[in-house]
Amino acid sequence: MVGYDPEAKCVSTVEAAAAGSASGLVTRVLISPLDVLKIRFQLQIEQLSSRNPTAKYHGILQAVQRIFREEGLGAFWKGHVPAQFLSVGYGAVQFMAFESLTELVHNVTSYSARGSFVHLVCGGLAACTATVAVQPVDTLRTRFAAQGEPKIYPNLRHAIVTMYQTEGPRTFYRGLTPTLIAIFPYAGLQFFFYNILQQFSEWAIPAEGKKGGNIKNLVCGSCAGIISKTLTYPLDVVKKRLQVGGFEHGRAAFGQIPWI
């Protein structure tokens, strides 16, 4: 169960952090190729259309084929090490903060810790906390996924040192403001819709059909993620554009760079 529930056996904050870290690690391995595609699409100024001759990427299949041909299979896992740090760290902090915040609401207010509105607010605050904690790793991840061939950053240590020396420490927090503006409604709505969908499933599914709890959680979580990501996606594009500011030479092969 996600969030504090006074009527059920609740996990500790350490267990919540461990669960969040494990889920983040496994998920990142599986979705890394799609994340690379998403970042490439977000950073391409030209319209994603085969009718646009200046666009490098026209669609998902064409982009997969071109990246594989030009950069090899490993390109779909570019920046995987910082991405894993990002997923594990973010998941741990977010779930630990969410458990703590919902328990705090139960102990010091009259609101129900299982209420959808409480999940909306606590989910947003937990995500903001996690975002601030892992923002430098997110910036590194974006830089690695955005760079083409030849590589500007051959490894994680070189990237950290180079970025610090040439752009200063503040570069690791590029895009933090739009990230926080986006992540609060994104995560809040995710927990909110997850709670709503769980309640709906409890009402809609008969008692004898409730054995597949993991499948139900997967479906509810996926639907909640799709809804919340769709609503907040434009701000994610802004964040990615800001994170590669000062990195124009690394992504020059991908098309126009309007801020030069």
Is the pLDDT at 180 greater than 70? The verdict is: yes
Which of the two residues, 258 and 154, has the higher pLDDT score?
Answer: 154
Is the pLDDT at 36 greater than 60? The verdict is: yes
Summarize the confidence of residues 62-69 as an average pLDDT: 90
Summarize the confidence of residues 138-164 as an average pLDDT: 84
pLDDT of residue 259: 46
Tell me the pLDDT tens digit for each residue of 95-135.
888 888 888 888 888 887 777 788 888 888 988 999 999 99
pLDDT of residue 160: 92
Is the pLDDT at 46 greater than 90? The verdict is: no
DSSP per residue over the chain, as a string? --S--TTS-PPPHHHHHHHHHHHHHHHHHHHHHHHHHHHHHHH--S-S-TT-TT-S--SHHHHHHHHHHHH-GGGGGTTHHHHHHHHHHHHHHHHHHHHHHHHHHHHHSSS-TT-HHHHHHHHHHHHHHHHHHHHHHHHHHHHHHH--SS-S-SSHHHHHHHHHHHH-GGGGGTTHHHHHHHHHHHHHHHHHHHHHHHHHHHHHS-GGG---HHHHHHHHHHHHHHHHHHHHHHHHHHHHHHHTTT-GGGSGGGS--TT-
Is the pLDDT at 78 greater than 60? The verdict is: yes
Is the pLDDT at 150 greater than 90? The verdict is: no
Is the pLDDT at 152 greater than 90? The verdict is: no
Most confident range (mean pLDDT) of 66-75, 79-88, 104-113, 237-246 is 66-75
Summarize the confidence of residues 228-246 as an average pLDDT: 77
Question: Where do the domains of the chain lie?
Answer: 12-77, 78-173, 176-248
Summarize the confidence of residues 233-259 as an average pLDDT: 66
